[in-house]
């Protein structure tokens, strides 16, 4: 009998890591698992801003598995030592739009973009505005170490305009703009492409996808003669009214009775207390 091997978690790989140095905030690991776990085994293209000692590039390859491609960006020329098979290193300033565009054109689209670079507020905002459209259709952008958005030495401060935290707040409106009934508030490019905003201590995760106005569905049969204060014929779509009509056919009632005889008997007893009949006839 073959025993299926369970893939180790990212935290387990980190704890067992003996390669190049990796430095991570401990509570980031569940965040990575939650939002990036679906890419394991899918050969993702990962852009990481900030290479440091090169250990995180090794870790991403081990976790995501064979076929993973990583592109590391750093200002340090020594980072070129980490180039290898399916591991690219680009040297440049993440505050340079032309440089970011060149990286995206040569290596994109990206399934994952991780900003662990300068940690300066203006660079974090620039990354979002410059590379959002270079994410894959279901890509994820993670900006981490956002505690620096509250540090003046990094261009941050509480409620200070221009920080990434302050840039994210209007995105809450953008993702809901399809619901607007005001001409002054209309959908933006983020309304059409942003499907999830997740905010954690020092981390923001943005999920890209095809975001359209919400739709609704109905199932089952109405209990009362109104739905949402409207008559049934006005509140329930024609296709579901037809489905309800099919539910009420004798053969459908019989099947329900055979599946749940106790429920049907109790319903009959409520209609005629003291009387019981065989409802399956």
Positive or negative, the CA dihedral 84, 90, 91, 94 is negative
State how far the Cα of 24 lies from the Cα of 152, in Å rounded to an integer.
22
Task: Kindly name the residue from 61, 119, 123, 211 that is annotated as catalytic.
Answer: 119
Q: Which strand ranges, in their side-by-side order, compose the sheet holding 194-200?
A: 87-91, 69-74, 45-49, 110-115, 135-144, 203-208, 194-200
Alpha carbons within 13 angstroms on the beta-carbon side of residue 93 total 7
Q: Would you say 79 and 87 are in contact if contact means Cβ atoms under 8 Å apart? A: no
Question: Does 158 qualify as catalytic in the annotation?
Answer: no
**Distance from C-alpha of 120 to C-alpha of 95, rounded to nearest angstrom:** 9
- Count of Cβ atoms closer than 10 Å to residue 172 Cβ: 11
- Which positions are annotated as active-site residues? 119
């Amino acid at each position: 009998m073959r025993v299926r091997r369970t893939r180790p978690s990212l935290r387990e790989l980190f704890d067992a890591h003996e390669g190049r140095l990796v430095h991570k905030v401990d509570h980031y690991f569940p965040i990575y698992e939650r939002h990036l776990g679906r890419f394991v085994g899918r050969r993702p293209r990962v852009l990481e801003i900030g290479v440091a000692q090169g250990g995180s590039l090794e870790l991403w390859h081990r976790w995501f598995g064979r076929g993973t491609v990583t592109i590391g960006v750093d200002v340090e020329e020594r980072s070129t030592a980490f180039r290898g098979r399916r591991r690219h290193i680009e040297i440049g300033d993440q505050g340079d739009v032309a440089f970011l565009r060149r990286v995206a054109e040569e290596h994109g689209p990206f399934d994952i973009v991780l900003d662990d670079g300068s940690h300066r507020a203006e660079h974090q905002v620039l990354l979002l505005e410059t590379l959002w459209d270079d994410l894959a259709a279901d890509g994820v952008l993670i900006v981490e170490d956002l505690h620096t958005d509250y540090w003046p030495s990094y261009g941050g401060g509480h409620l200070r305009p221009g920080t990434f935290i302050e840039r994210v707040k209007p995105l809450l409106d953008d993702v809901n703009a399809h619901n607007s009934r005001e001409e002054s508030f209309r959908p933006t490019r983020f309304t059409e492409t942003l499907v999830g905003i997740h905010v954690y201590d020092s981390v923001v995760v943005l999920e890209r996808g095809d975001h359209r106005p919400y739709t609704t569905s109905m199932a089952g049969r109405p209990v009362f003669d109104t739905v949402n204060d409207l008559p049934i014929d006005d509140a329930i779509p024609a296709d579901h009214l037809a489905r309800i009509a099919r539910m009420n056919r004798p053969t459908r009632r019989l099947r329900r009775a055979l599946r749940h005889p106790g429920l049907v008997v109790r319903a009959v007893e409520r209609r005629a207390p003291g009387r019981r009949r065989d409802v399956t006839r």
